[in-house]
Amino acid sequence: MVVDDSVVIRGMISRWIGAEPDMEVSASLRTGLDAVNQIERIKPDVAVLDIEMPELDGISALPQLLAKKRDLVIIMASTLTRRNAEISFKALSLGASDYIPKPESTREATAAETFHHDLIQKIRHLGARARRRASPAASPALAPAPDRIREVLPHPVAAPAPQLQLARRSFSMLAPRVLLIGSSTGGPQALMALVTDIGPVIDRFPVLITQHMPPTFTTILAEHLARASRRPAHEAVDGEIVKPGRIYLAPGGRHMRVVRHGAETAIALDDGPPVNFCKPAVDPLFTSAIDVWQGSIMSVILTGMGSDGMRGGKEIVAAGGSVIAQDEATSVVWGMPGAAANAGICAAVLPLNQIAPKLVRLFSGDRS
């Protein structure tokens, strides 16, 4: 279901969806009020919901849509303004599954192409997961998670089908000196939960995060991470020295790497081409860290589409470091962590609420 007051945007998105063999447009509507009034008749799997609309805007329509169809996947779509980015973060806390920035103009070929690619991937992956959850053959729901996890994963998540036992590596015997985190779809919610409980790690070690996210959104995410962790968190600045006690977030639209700067470590940002269709990407951060910290690296790959972080994680393990991946049941999309787990590079694959306690123990000297 496409909900947007712009006839141009509605038509463009509808054409893109109609061209895909595994999805179709069930409705194309102009306002949030239309969506609320028709949701029970249309019964879509996914709604692409604009933020600014007449009669009833997206953020007001969101809870009403979920009240009428709890398993609805809602992807918020908005232009890149600070106000819309703030509203998108609020939407995630109210139950939206994801967000996507709309190009300022559909005449910008590159921006429209990126929007097209990202939107179709989000619809496909999030819609498929919702269908698996709703399937009568799905396993019984997991036991209730702690309150904070329920907040960041608002929809009930069914346990995945039994999997082959994935190979596990031993944790590195080297003491970690840095924590690297990569995430994508579902990442903002997961990151907020994680940083809340790793204060003892942040206090003694630097934490560097790459979240697939556009400019403006990363600015606001850094502010949210600072509030959640009660520690300094900001978008990384090119050339700044990396210090313990701080969270560094890759700014939207730029890759974040680390480099030696005399006896210290500095941030290096670049405007190179996308890596794994992403900018910023996780792999550049992971691979660059090896030159600085060798095998004394602890890396975490959280929920997200694609396989970004797997190649860099493989190199970290080869250098003597360790990788932890979020498990399938608590991931919004088990793409990135699943790729790492299936590559056999992980020392642990854990539910989101078990990752922080494990990190605290590992950074305190536990090696198992």
Catalytic sites, residue numbers: 184, 212, 308
Give the Å distances, CA to CA, from 259 to 193, 227, 240, 325, 361: 29, 28, 10, 25, 28
Sign of CA dihedral 232, 236, 237, 238: positive
CA–CA separation, 209 vs 111, rounded Å? 25
Residue tagged 């996914």 (tokens): 46
Rounded CA Rg of the chain: 20
Tokens linked to 273: 């081409």
DSSP-derived pairing of the beta strands 255-261 and 264-270: antiparallel
Distance, in Å, from the CA atom of 190 to the CA atom of 193, rounded to the nearest integer, reads: 5
Which string of b and e fits 243-256 if b means at least 16 CB within 10 Å?
A: eeebbbbbbbebbb
**65: exposed, middle or buried (Cβ count in 10 Å: 0-12, 13-18, 19+):** buried
